[in-house]
Amino acid sequence: MKNHDQELLLNIENLHIHFVLKKETVKALNGVDIKVARGKTIGLVGETGAGKTTTALAIMNMIQKPQGRIIDGKITLDGIDILSKNRMEIESIRGNLVSMIFQDPMSSLNPVLNVGEQIAEGLVLHKHMDRKEALVEAGELLEKIGIPRSRACDYPHQFSGGMRQRVLIAMGLACNPKLLIADEPTTALDVTIQAQVLQLMRELKANFNTTIFMITHDFGIVAEMCDEVYVMYAGTVIERGTLTDIFDHTRHPYTEGLFNSLPDIEHRNRELIPIHGRTVDPTNLPAGCPFWPRCNYICDKCRQDMPPEILVSDTHGVKCWLYENTSENPLMRRDYVAEENND
């Protein structure tokens, strides 16, 4: 057990976060459990509003207060209980032990400070370098991400979107963090630049052995980058497993719906099957499983109780009553069906 704990870099247990507004309470996270082993890349997928970014911000202890309230739960990062730290302590953890890359490179860099300065800032804070050393080091980091050192004195407006995202990555990696959270790092970029950025992240992972926590809604990126996948819906993880578990042995009806709504290059004329209905309103969650209003496999129990996590294999867990008594897979994922028809 002890050994197992040491392998775990990040452990999120039963995390509940609500945003209490004047008129309503947004239940953003409702019991999130995520375990990340050292050196792995995990992908967190789900629709907009599923709670992905809130989870990431909670790991940084950056939930907006006083509206954001951590109702319950615990986050352990490298043996440190993140949520119990005071401001000073958490400031020395952010950017040092864990850092985060945000989704919009256009607005995430400070327009009035040059990029060298912005990269060096973290080094001065956490590695206790003086400003000169830090600027030299920042130049080296820029070289590593493929931007000439001479451009360290340039300002963000002088860079393209892809370059700015790379600068943000350099900034995230400056202090060699154990965990790098990437919140949709490629969403704002066009496809070729996206590929470059992903390639860069893979190289950096190989060189620094950084654990990456990747938030995305793009299954293509998950397939390319991740070892393990967590699928979120309405502030809870509804299915988790290895890449093969999720992609080839999909269990949860929601995950199935996500796959069914993806275009398939081999069957281009096929209609996409969307998940009917809308994402649940986090201010007014239904009783029972939050997915039942949209589910095709609904039973009475779904409307009453939230299913616990059921392990269908050692690595594969799913929160769905379908697997309460059986481990057989009743789902009819379209590509399976299609393959059978083709055969």
Partner 1 sequence: MWKFVVKRLLLTIPIIIAVIFVVFTLLHFAPGDITMQLLGTKWTPEAAETLRHELGIDQPFMTQFINYIKGIVQGNFGISYISRESVTNMLAVSMPNTIYILITSVVLSIVISIPIGILAALKPNSVFSGITTAFSLIGVSAPSFWIGLLLILLLSLRLKWLPASGLESFSALIMPSVVMSLSHLAALSRTTRSSMIESLRMDYIRTARAKGVKKKDIVLKHALRNALMPTVSLVGFIIGEMIGGATVVETIFGISGMGRLLVESVNKRDINVVLGCVTMMAICVAVISIVTDVAFAYLDPRIKAQYVSGGKSNG
Binding site for partner 1 (CB under 8 A): 60, 62, 87, 91-96, 99-100, 102, 104, 107-114, 121-122, 125-126, 154-155, 157-160, 168, 171
- How buried is 144 (Cβ within 10 angstroms: 0-12 exposed, 13-18 middle, 19+ buried)? middle
Is 169 or 237 the residue whose CB approaches partner 1 more closely?
169
* Distance between CA atoms of residues 111 and 59, nearest Å: 27
Task: Tell me how far, at minimum, the Cβ of 82 lies from partner 1, in Å.
Answer: 13
Task: Tell me how far, at minimum, the Cβ of 75 lies from partner 1, in Å.
Answer: 15
Task: Tell me how far, at minimum, the Cβ of 122 lies from partner 1, in Å.
Answer: 5
Q: At which residue do the structure tokens 């790092």 appear?
A: 185
Task: Tell me how far, at minimum, the Cβ of 208 lies from partner 1, in Å.
Answer: 17
Is 166 or 240 the residue whose CB approaches partner 1 more closely?
166
Let me know: does 142 contact 149? Beta carbons within 8 Å: yes
In sequence order, the β-bridge partners of residue 44 are 215, 230
Structure tokens belonging to residue 15: 């995390």
Give the CA-trace dihedral at 259, 262, 265, 266, to 10 degrees. Answer: 50
* Distance between CA atoms of residues 22 and 96, nearest Å: 36
Task: Tell me how far, at minimum, the Cβ of 156 lies from partner 1, in Å.
Answer: 9
Is 49 or 162 the residue whose CB approaches partner 1 more closely?
162
Is 112 or 206 the residue whose CB approaches partner 1 more closely?
112
Is 13 or 154 the residue whose CB approaches partner 1 more closely?
154
> In which order are the strands placed within the sheet that holds 68-77?
25-37, 8-20, 68-77, 80-81
